[in-house]
Structure 1
């Protein structure tokens, strides 16, 4: 069953564009991960400062495998890995983050 992981990232009001740039620079980085089904970065349009990173996975095990992988560590600036461009690690954009987990319980394709 598809699982949805939503990373709710709160950023300073003037840092949203930097968050979007960082995600754009890594576009497709998770695409080849076994069990990955899709990704969306949602920019708030109502004055909030919390952005949502929505990913869909085949199952919990597929997400866990990615979350413990070297690719995840590299993409999330873990100290054990160099920056993607070989330079120094950049400081996080977000001031806080929360991971939410959901299973698809119903819906519509809109067609």
Structure 2
């Protein structure tokens, strides 16, 4: 079996997208050393949608679950202000849900 794909679909109100991107940039690399992690992309909508997508690839479901249940996951989802002892910033999203997929086909340039 190939990679497991997890997509976090995050609903972001108009005007809050730049802050979401900034927060992701501030914690870039937080998951890079997780066992079985293969990469991620933050996808910004280019039409009138309000859902941003965080697409992550994992070796298998066990690797993803191990990361979600790790101290690194909790720490990576805290802001720099929280890590310094301050209060959590106001959320920039109104809803999110995680979708799970596996690769069933595709192609690579040749």
TM-score w.r.t. length of structure 2 = 0.91
Does 44-53 or 86-95 show the bigger shift?
86-95
Matched, 1:6 2:12: no
Residue deviations 1:36-83 (CA, integer Å, cap 9, x gap):
0010000000111100000000000000000111111122239xxx72
Q: Structure 1: give runs of 5+ residues left out of the alignment.
A: none
The residue number in structure 2 matching 1:62 is 63
Q: Structure 2: give runs of 5+ residues left out of the alignment.
A: none
User: What SS class does the counterpart of residue 6 from structure 1 fall into?
Assistant: strand
Aligned length: 108
TM-score w.r.t. length of structure 1 = 0.90
Q: CA RMSD in A?
A: 1.6
Aligned-pair CA distance for 1:85? 4.0
User: What SS class does the counterpart of residue 9 from structure 1 fall into?
Assistant: strand
The residue number in structure 2 matching 1:99 is 98
